[in-house]
Structure 1
Amino acid sequence: MRHIVHLSSANVLGDPMPAMGRWHHDREELVRASGIPATILRPGAFMTNALDWLPTIRADGFVLDPIGPGRYAPIDPADIADVAAVALTEEGHQGKQYVLTGEETLTVTEQTRTLAMAIGRHLDVRPVNSPEEAVRARFPHGAPPALAAALIEGFALMRADTIGFRTDTVRRIPGRAPRTFTEWCTRNAHRFVS
Protein backbone atom coordinates (compact mmCIF):
# COMPACT_ATOMS: atom_id res chain seq x y z
CA MET A 1 0.00 0.00 0.00
CA ARG A 2 1.12 3.55 -0.73
CA HIS A 3 2.72 5.60 2.07
CA ILE A 4 1.93 9.31 2.29
CA VAL A 5 3.31 12.26 4.19
CA HIS A 6 0.73 14.68 5.60
CA LEU A 7 1.79 18.23 6.44
CA SER A 8 0.06 19.66 9.51
CA SER A 9 0.62 22.29 12.18
CA ALA A 10 -1.18 20.62 15.05
CA ASN A 11 2.04 20.70 17.05
CA VAL A 12 0.63 23.08 19.67
CA LEU A 13 -1.58 20.73 21.63
CA GLY A 14 -2.29 22.92 24.61
CA ASP A 15 -5.44 22.75 26.69
CA PRO A 16 -7.56 23.95 25.03
CA MET A 17 -5.93 23.43 21.65
CA PRO A 18 -5.74 26.65 19.57
CA ALA A 19 -8.12 26.90 16.60
CA MET A 20 -5.47 26.29 13.93
CA GLY A 21 -4.16 23.33 15.88
CA ARG A 22 -7.69 21.88 16.04
CA TRP A 23 -8.18 22.35 12.31
CA HIS A 24 -4.94 20.56 11.50
CA HIS A 25 -5.59 17.88 14.10
CA ASP A 26 -8.98 17.16 12.50
CA ARG A 27 -7.28 16.65 9.14
CA GLU A 28 -4.69 14.37 10.72
CA GLU A 29 -7.57 12.26 12.03
CA LEU A 30 -9.01 12.05 8.49
CA VAL A 31 -5.64 10.86 7.19
CA ARG A 32 -5.42 8.23 9.94
CA ALA A 33 -9.01 7.09 9.29
CA SER A 34 -8.26 6.63 5.58
CA GLY A 35 -6.20 3.53 6.34
CA ILE A 36 -3.36 4.70 4.11
CA PRO A 37 -0.02 4.39 5.93
CA ALA A 38 1.16 7.91 6.69
CA THR A 39 3.80 9.99 8.38
CA ILE A 40 2.57 13.26 9.87
CA LEU A 41 4.90 16.26 9.62
CA ARG A 42 4.05 19.17 11.93
CA PRO A 43 6.20 22.16 11.01
CA GLY A 44 6.14 25.36 12.97
CA ALA A 45 6.33 28.75 11.26
CA PHE A 46 7.96 28.74 7.85
CA MET A 47 10.86 31.06 7.04
CA THR A 48 8.94 31.91 3.87
CA ASN A 49 6.35 33.69 6.05
CA ALA A 50 8.81 36.61 5.88
CA LEU A 51 7.55 37.11 2.33
CA ASP A 52 4.36 38.48 3.93
CA TRP A 53 6.47 41.50 4.85
CA LEU A 54 7.09 42.44 1.20
CA PRO A 55 4.31 45.07 0.87
CA THR A 56 5.44 47.19 3.85
CA ILE A 57 9.14 46.69 3.08
CA ARG A 58 8.70 47.83 -0.52
CA ALA A 59 6.32 50.68 0.28
CA ASP A 60 7.86 52.16 3.43
CA GLY A 61 10.86 50.10 4.59
CA PHE A 62 9.34 48.52 7.67
CA VAL A 63 8.07 45.22 9.07
CA LEU A 64 4.95 45.00 11.23
CA ASP A 65 5.56 43.04 14.43
CA PRO A 66 2.52 41.32 15.97
CA ILE A 67 4.44 39.31 18.59
CA GLY A 68 6.88 41.74 20.26
CA PRO A 69 9.09 39.77 22.67
CA GLY A 70 7.80 36.43 21.40
CA ARG A 71 10.32 33.99 20.00
CA TYR A 72 9.91 31.08 17.61
CA ALA A 73 12.17 28.85 15.55
CA PRO A 74 11.19 29.27 11.88
CA ILE A 75 11.95 26.38 9.56
CA ASP A 76 13.11 26.48 5.96
CA PRO A 77 10.60 24.65 3.72
CA ALA A 78 13.61 22.90 2.17
CA ASP A 79 14.23 21.22 5.55
CA ILE A 80 10.61 20.06 5.62
CA ALA A 81 11.07 18.60 2.14
CA ASP A 82 14.25 16.79 3.25
CA VAL A 83 12.45 15.20 6.22
CA ALA A 84 9.55 14.21 3.94
CA ALA A 85 11.95 12.62 1.45
CA VAL A 86 13.55 10.50 4.18
CA ALA A 87 10.14 9.55 5.59
CA LEU A 88 8.98 8.41 2.15
CA THR A 89 12.13 6.53 1.13
CA GLU A 90 13.40 4.92 4.33
CA GLU A 91 11.79 2.33 6.58
CA GLY A 92 10.48 3.04 10.05
CA HIS A 93 8.57 6.30 9.57
CA GLN A 94 5.05 5.04 8.88
CA GLY A 95 2.62 5.92 11.66
CA LYS A 96 5.03 8.46 13.19
CA GLN A 97 4.48 12.17 13.84
CA TYR A 98 7.37 14.61 13.63
CA VAL A 99 7.35 18.20 14.89
CA LEU A 100 9.70 20.33 12.81
CA THR A 101 11.35 23.64 13.70
CA GLY A 102 14.56 25.44 12.97
CA GLU A 103 17.27 25.60 15.63
CA GLU A 104 17.33 29.37 16.19
CA THR A 105 14.61 31.01 18.26
CA LEU A 106 14.17 34.53 16.97
CA THR A 107 11.99 37.57 17.51
CA VAL A 108 10.55 39.45 14.55
CA THR A 109 13.05 42.24 15.30
CA GLU A 110 15.98 39.81 15.08
CA GLN A 111 14.64 38.36 11.84
CA THR A 112 14.21 41.84 10.41
CA ARG A 113 17.83 42.73 11.26
CA THR A 114 19.01 39.55 9.56
CA LEU A 115 16.94 40.28 6.46
CA ALA A 116 18.14 43.91 6.37
CA MET A 117 21.76 42.73 6.35
CA ALA A 118 21.04 40.27 3.53
CA ILE A 119 19.37 42.88 1.33
CA GLY A 120 21.73 45.73 2.27
CA ARG A 121 18.94 48.05 3.37
CA HIS A 122 17.85 49.49 6.70
CA LEU A 123 14.46 48.18 7.82
CA ASP A 124 12.42 49.47 10.73
CA VAL A 125 10.22 47.32 12.94
CA ARG A 126 6.84 48.73 13.88
CA PRO A 127 4.62 47.09 16.49
CA VAL A 128 1.06 46.55 15.32
CA ASN A 129 -1.50 48.96 16.74
CA SER A 130 -4.13 46.26 17.12
CA PRO A 131 -4.66 42.55 16.49
CA GLU A 132 -6.88 43.52 13.55
CA GLU A 133 -3.98 45.39 11.95
CA ALA A 134 -1.89 42.21 12.19
CA VAL A 135 -4.62 40.29 10.34
CA ARG A 136 -4.96 43.02 7.67
CA ALA A 137 -1.19 42.90 7.10
CA ARG A 138 -1.50 39.20 6.28
CA PHE A 139 -4.83 39.46 4.40
CA PRO A 140 -5.18 42.99 3.01
CA HIS A 141 -8.48 42.14 1.30
CA GLY A 142 -9.93 40.61 4.45
CA ALA A 143 -9.97 37.21 6.11
CA PRO A 144 -12.96 35.06 7.03
CA PRO A 145 -13.93 35.73 10.67
CA ALA A 146 -12.86 32.27 11.91
CA LEU A 147 -9.44 32.64 10.26
CA ALA A 148 -9.01 36.18 11.60
CA ALA A 149 -9.85 34.98 15.13
CA ALA A 150 -7.42 32.06 14.78
CA LEU A 151 -4.62 34.36 13.64
CA ILE A 152 -5.22 36.75 16.53
CA GLU A 153 -5.18 33.79 18.93
CA GLY A 154 -1.95 32.52 17.37
CA PHE A 155 -0.24 35.91 17.61
CA ALA A 156 -1.19 36.13 21.30
CA LEU A 157 0.28 32.69 21.97
CA MET A 158 3.47 33.59 20.10
CA ARG A 159 3.79 36.90 21.99
CA ALA A 160 3.60 35.00 25.29
CA ASP A 161 6.37 32.55 24.33
CA THR A 162 9.57 34.47 25.06
CA ILE A 163 11.75 31.35 24.99
CA GLY A 164 10.69 29.71 21.72
CA PHE A 165 9.88 26.07 21.15
CA ARG A 166 12.28 24.04 19.02
CA THR A 167 12.96 20.44 18.14
CA ASP A 168 15.90 18.39 16.89
CA THR A 169 13.92 16.53 14.21
CA VAL A 170 15.95 17.85 11.27
CA ARG A 171 19.17 16.79 13.01
CA ARG A 172 17.72 13.32 13.68
CA ILE A 173 15.89 12.50 10.43
CA PRO A 174 18.03 13.82 7.56
CA GLY A 175 20.93 13.86 10.02
CA ARG A 176 22.18 17.42 9.60
CA ALA A 177 21.71 20.87 11.08
CA PRO A 178 18.65 22.80 9.93
CA ARG A 179 19.25 25.70 7.57
CA THR A 180 19.49 29.07 9.32
CA PHE A 181 17.35 32.15 8.78
CA THR A 182 20.52 33.94 7.62
CA GLU A 183 20.99 31.30 4.91
CA TRP A 184 17.35 31.62 3.85
CA CYS A 185 17.61 35.42 3.68
CA THR A 186 20.80 35.25 1.62
CA ARG A 187 19.20 32.82 -0.86
CA ASN A 188 16.04 34.92 -1.11
CA ALA A 189 17.40 38.48 -0.88
CA HIS A 190 16.52 39.12 -4.54
CA ARG A 191 12.84 38.70 -3.70
CA PHE A 192 12.93 41.67 -1.31
CA VAL A 193 14.71 44.10 -3.61
CA SER A 194 12.29 46.24 -5.62
Structure 2
Amino acid sequence: MHHIVHLSSFHVTFDPIPAMGRWHHEREKIIRASGIPATFLRPGGFMTNTLDWLPTIREGNYVLDPIGPGRFAPIDPADIAAVAALALTEAGHQDAEYVLTGDEMFTVAQQVRIISETIGRGIEVRETATPAEVVRFRFPNGAPRELADAITEGFTLMRADTVGFRTDTVERLLGRRPRTFADWCVRNAEAFRRP
Protein backbone atom coordinates (compact mmCIF):
# COMPACT_ATOMS: atom_id res chain seq x y z
CA MET A 1 0.00 0.00 0.00
CA HIS A 2 1.25 3.49 -0.79
CA HIS A 3 2.00 6.15 1.79
CA ILE A 4 0.74 9.68 1.15
CA VAL A 5 1.56 13.05 2.60
CA HIS A 6 -1.40 15.37 3.02
CA LEU A 7 -0.79 19.11 3.22
CA SER A 8 -3.27 21.21 5.19
CA SER A 9 -2.36 24.80 4.45
CA PHE A 10 -3.88 26.26 7.60
CA HIS A 11 -2.71 24.81 10.88
CA VAL A 12 -5.04 24.89 13.83
CA THR A 13 -3.81 27.04 16.72
CA PHE A 14 -7.01 28.85 17.61
CA ASP A 15 -10.03 27.81 19.63
CA PRO A 16 -12.63 27.60 18.24
CA ILE A 17 -11.16 26.21 15.03
CA PRO A 18 -11.48 28.75 12.20
CA ALA A 19 -13.35 27.80 9.02
CA MET A 20 -10.22 27.07 6.96
CA GLY A 21 -8.92 24.81 9.70
CA ARG A 22 -12.26 22.95 9.80
CA TRP A 23 -12.18 22.49 6.01
CA HIS A 24 -8.73 20.93 6.15
CA HIS A 25 -9.65 18.82 9.17
CA GLU A 26 -12.57 17.36 7.20
CA ARG A 27 -10.16 16.34 4.40
CA GLU A 28 -7.86 14.72 6.94
CA LYS A 29 -10.79 12.69 8.32
CA ILE A 30 -11.56 11.42 4.80
CA ILE A 31 -7.94 10.33 4.30
CA ARG A 32 -7.83 8.61 7.71
CA ALA A 33 -11.08 6.77 6.93
CA SER A 34 -9.64 5.53 3.63
CA GLY A 35 -7.08 3.39 5.44
CA ILE A 36 -4.23 4.68 3.29
CA PRO A 37 -1.12 5.29 5.41
CA ALA A 38 -0.55 9.03 5.59
CA THR A 39 1.50 11.76 7.17
CA PHE A 40 -0.26 15.07 7.80
CA LEU A 41 1.68 18.30 7.32
CA ARG A 42 0.06 21.42 8.76
CA PRO A 43 2.13 24.46 7.79
CA GLY A 44 1.29 27.98 8.86
CA GLY A 45 1.56 30.95 6.52
CA PHE A 46 3.82 30.46 3.52
CA MET A 47 6.57 32.96 2.71
CA THR A 48 5.24 32.84 -0.85
CA ASN A 49 2.00 34.45 0.37
CA THR A 50 3.87 37.76 0.13
CA LEU A 51 3.63 37.40 -3.65
CA ASP A 52 -0.07 38.29 -3.16
CA TRP A 53 1.21 41.82 -2.48
CA LEU A 54 2.67 42.25 -5.98
CA PRO A 55 -0.38 44.01 -7.50
CA THR A 56 -0.32 46.86 -4.94
CA ILE A 57 3.48 47.04 -4.92
CA ARG A 58 3.51 47.35 -8.72
CA GLU A 59 0.56 49.75 -8.94
CA GLY A 60 1.33 52.06 -6.02
CA ASN A 61 4.35 50.79 -4.10
CA TYR A 62 2.36 49.79 -1.01
CA VAL A 63 1.12 46.72 0.85
CA LEU A 64 -2.25 46.42 2.56
CA ASP A 65 -1.79 45.12 6.11
CA PRO A 66 -4.87 43.37 7.54
CA ILE A 67 -3.20 42.06 10.73
CA GLY A 68 -1.44 45.14 12.17
CA PRO A 69 0.28 44.02 15.39
CA GLY A 70 -0.41 40.34 14.69
CA ARG A 71 2.68 38.15 14.45
CA PHE A 72 3.30 34.82 12.78
CA ALA A 73 6.20 32.62 11.66
CA PRO A 74 5.99 32.11 7.87
CA ILE A 75 7.58 29.03 6.39
CA ASP A 76 9.51 28.61 3.15
CA PRO A 77 7.67 26.11 0.91
CA ALA A 78 11.08 24.51 0.27
CA ASP A 79 11.12 23.48 3.94
CA ILE A 80 7.65 21.98 3.61
CA ALA A 81 8.85 20.02 0.57
CA ALA A 82 11.92 18.81 2.48
CA VAL A 83 9.73 17.53 5.33
CA ALA A 84 7.38 15.85 2.83
CA ALA A 85 10.34 14.14 1.12
CA LEU A 86 11.61 12.95 4.50
CA ALA A 87 8.19 11.58 5.46
CA LEU A 88 7.94 9.69 2.17
CA THR A 89 11.46 8.24 2.20
CA GLU A 90 12.12 7.40 5.86
CA ALA A 91 10.28 5.03 8.14
CA GLY A 92 8.49 6.25 11.23
CA HIS A 93 6.34 9.07 9.87
CA GLN A 94 3.18 7.13 9.06
CA ASP A 95 0.14 8.61 10.86
CA ALA A 96 2.27 11.48 12.20
CA GLU A 97 0.93 15.04 12.30
CA TYR A 98 3.50 17.80 11.89
CA VAL A 99 2.72 21.47 12.47
CA LEU A 100 5.31 23.40 10.48
CA THR A 101 6.34 27.03 10.89
CA GLY A 102 9.33 29.16 10.19
CA ASP A 103 11.74 30.10 12.94
CA GLU A 104 11.18 33.88 12.92
CA MET A 105 8.15 35.87 14.11
CA PHE A 106 6.98 38.78 11.95
CA THR A 107 4.32 41.40 11.55
CA VAL A 108 3.41 42.32 7.98
CA ALA A 109 5.32 45.61 8.43
CA GLN A 110 8.46 43.71 9.42
CA GLN A 111 8.19 41.49 6.35
CA VAL A 112 7.73 44.52 4.11
CA ARG A 113 10.82 46.13 5.64
CA ILE A 114 12.90 43.05 4.77
CA ILE A 115 11.57 43.03 1.19
CA SER A 116 12.36 46.76 0.92
CA GLU A 117 15.91 46.25 2.17
CA THR A 118 16.39 43.36 -0.25
CA ILE A 119 15.27 45.26 -3.34
CA GLY A 120 16.68 48.63 -2.29
CA ARG A 121 13.38 50.50 -2.46
CA GLY A 122 10.99 51.59 0.28
CA ILE A 123 7.49 50.13 0.24
CA GLU A 124 4.67 51.76 2.18
CA VAL A 125 2.56 49.70 4.59
CA ARG A 126 -1.10 50.71 4.77
CA GLU A 127 -2.89 49.14 7.69
CA THR A 128 -6.48 48.36 6.79
CA ALA A 129 -9.39 49.44 8.95
CA THR A 130 -10.78 45.90 8.92
CA PRO A 131 -9.65 42.54 7.52
CA ALA A 132 -12.73 42.58 5.28
CA GLU A 133 -11.18 45.53 3.40
CA VAL A 134 -8.43 43.22 2.07
CA VAL A 135 -11.01 40.66 0.95
CA ARG A 136 -12.86 43.37 -1.00
CA PHE A 137 -9.57 44.47 -2.58
CA ARG A 138 -8.50 40.93 -3.54
CA PHE A 139 -11.91 40.08 -4.95
CA PRO A 140 -13.25 43.35 -6.47
CA ASN A 141 -16.02 41.42 -8.23
CA GLY A 142 -16.94 39.64 -5.02
CA ALA A 143 -15.90 36.34 -3.49
CA PRO A 144 -18.08 33.43 -2.49
CA ARG A 145 -19.54 34.33 0.90
CA GLU A 146 -18.07 31.32 2.68
CA LEU A 147 -14.57 32.08 1.37
CA ALA A 148 -14.82 35.80 2.18
CA ASP A 149 -15.99 35.02 5.70
CA ALA A 150 -13.19 32.47 6.21
CA ILE A 151 -10.48 34.90 5.04
CA THR A 152 -11.89 37.68 7.21
CA GLU A 153 -12.04 35.32 10.20
CA GLY A 154 -8.44 34.21 9.63
CA PHE A 155 -7.12 37.77 9.42
CA THR A 156 -9.12 38.77 12.51
CA LEU A 157 -7.59 35.93 14.52
CA MET A 158 -4.11 36.76 13.23
CA ARG A 159 -4.55 40.45 14.16
CA ALA A 160 -5.36 39.44 17.73
CA ASP A 161 -2.32 37.13 18.02
CA THR A 162 0.43 39.59 18.93
CA VAL A 163 2.66 36.82 20.32
CA GLY A 164 2.54 34.42 17.39
CA PHE A 165 2.95 30.67 17.14
CA ARG A 166 6.13 28.83 16.29
CA THR A 167 7.23 25.20 16.33
CA ASP A 168 10.63 23.52 16.20
CA THR A 169 9.33 20.71 13.99
CA VAL A 170 11.37 21.58 10.90
CA GLU A 171 14.58 21.67 12.91
CA ARG A 172 13.80 18.41 14.72
CA LEU A 173 12.99 16.56 11.51
CA LEU A 174 15.59 18.01 9.15
CA GLY A 175 18.42 18.61 11.62
CA ARG A 176 18.72 22.25 10.59
CA ARG A 177 16.87 25.48 11.25
CA PRO A 178 14.16 26.55 8.82
CA ARG A 179 15.18 28.84 5.99
CA THR A 180 14.94 32.54 6.81
CA PHE A 181 12.57 35.04 5.28
CA ALA A 182 15.53 37.24 4.31
CA ASP A 183 17.03 34.35 2.32
CA TRP A 184 13.68 33.70 0.64
CA CYS A 185 13.51 37.39 -0.29
CA VAL A 186 16.96 37.28 -1.87
CA ARG A 187 15.99 34.23 -3.94
CA ASN A 188 12.76 35.93 -5.06
CA ALA A 189 13.86 39.57 -5.28
CA GLU A 190 13.25 39.84 -9.02
CA ALA A 191 9.53 39.23 -8.53
CA PHE A 192 9.37 42.34 -6.33
CA ARG A 193 11.64 44.46 -8.56
CA ARG A 194 9.67 44.00 -11.78
CA PRO A 195 7.52 46.99 -12.73
Q: If the TM-score is normalised by the length of the shorter chain, which range does it land in?
A: over 0.9
Alignment length (residue pairs): 194
RMSD of equivalent CA atoms: 1.2
Aligned to 1:15: 15
1:168 Cα deviation from its structure 2 partner: 0.5
Give deviations 1:124-158, integer Å, cap 9, x for gaps: 10011333321133334432110100111100100
Asked if the contact 2:67–2:131 (Cα under 8 Å) also holds between the matched residues in 1, the reply is no
Instruction: Tell me the amino acid that sits aligned with residue 65 of structure 1.
Output: D
Aligned to 1:95: 95
SS in 2 for 1:64: strand
Aligned to 1:142: 142
5+ residue gaps, structure 1, are: none
Aligned to 1:3: 3
Mapping of residues 43-54 of structure 1, within 5 Å: 43-54=43-54
Give deviations 1:37-64, integer Å, cap 9, x for gaps: 0000000000000000001100111110
1:13 Cα deviation from its structure 2 partner: 5.0
Asked if the contact 1:10–1:22 (Cα under 8 Å) also holds between the matched residues in 2, the reply is no
Give deviations 1:139-194, integer Å, cap 9, x for gaps: 34432110100111100100011111000111011111100110011100001112
Structure 1 CA distance for aligned equivalents of residues 89 and 130 of structure 2: 46
- TM-score, with structure 2 as normaliser: 0.96
Asked if 1:167 is matched to 2:167, the reply is yes
- TM-score, with structure 1 as normaliser: 0.96
Structure 2 CA distance for aligned equivalents of residues 10 and 47 of structure 1: 13
Instruction: Tell me the amino acid that sits aligned with residue 26 of structure 1.
Output: E
Aligned to 1:126: 126
Aligned to 1:28: 28
Structure 2 CA distance for aligned equivalents of residues 140 and 171 of structure 1: 40
